[in-house]
Amino acid sequence: MVKISIGVLCLILAVIFGNAMVVSGESDDESISVPLGVIHLGPPEDVEAKQPSVPFPHGTHFVYTCNTCHHQWEMDGPIENCTTSGCHDGVESPIKAGGGKVDEDELIAYYKTAYHKMCISCHREIKAQNESLEKSGRVLKDRLPNAGPSSCKGCHLPEE
């Protein structure tokens, strides 16, 4: 196998695919630039990160429809950030703030809960399906699908 550094690989991929694809709308204002590679997800500006940021391979997830995640987007117009959209702009855990009482709406407005709920649930669900298929003893024709990480370090990649 040819050994190739990640940097060089990214460079090649960037040359081949470009870093983003542009989806055009009817006027220039409506065009959006869709990042195809890795988006580094970190906490909102005023929050001090306890965990390393999460390199999120956006394009790898395009087997799902866009509004699986961009649930406010109606396949038209600009896409807003998760943490500035008014959806998940909470910066503090309502569990800590409310002394144990939890309001569901406040909970999902907290960006960390929103991300964890969406990202981890989907990966876990696939993992669980894989495990039950393995346990079923059925002869599997195809390799089981990759589930995506569900461990802390699998997403919050320790910095090198």
Amino acid at 128: A
Q: Binding ligand HEC by CB under 6 A: which of 61, 89, 107, 117?
A: 61
* 62: contact with ligand HEC by CB under 6 A: yes
- Listed in sequence order, the residues at least 6 apart from 150 whose beta carbon sits closer than 8 Å to its beta carbon are 120, 123, 124, 127
CB of 128 to ligand HEC, least distance (A): 13
Long-range contact pairs involving 46-53 (C-beta distance under 8 Å, separation at least 24): 46/91, 47/91, 51/152, 51/156, 52/156, 52/157, 52/158, 52/159, 53/156
Q: Which lies closer to ligand HEC via its Cβ, residue 15 or residue 49?
A: 49
Measured CA distances, 75 to 8, 29, 32, 101 (Å)? 34, 15, 11, 36
Interatomic CA distance for residues 47 and 131, integer angstroms: 37
Question: What is the pattern of x (binds ligand HEC, CB under 6 A) and - over residues 97-126?
Answer: ---------------x--xx-xxx-xx--x
Residues 2-31 within binding reach of ligand HEC (CB under 6 A) = none
Choice from 19, 31, 68, 72 touching ligand HEC (CB under 6 A): 68
Query: What residues make contact with ligand HEC under the rule CB under 6 A?
Result: 32, 34-35, 39, 41-43, 49-51, 53-54, 56-58, 60-62, 64, 66, 68-70, 79, 81-83, 112, 115-116, 118-120, 122-123, 126, 146, 148-152, 154-156
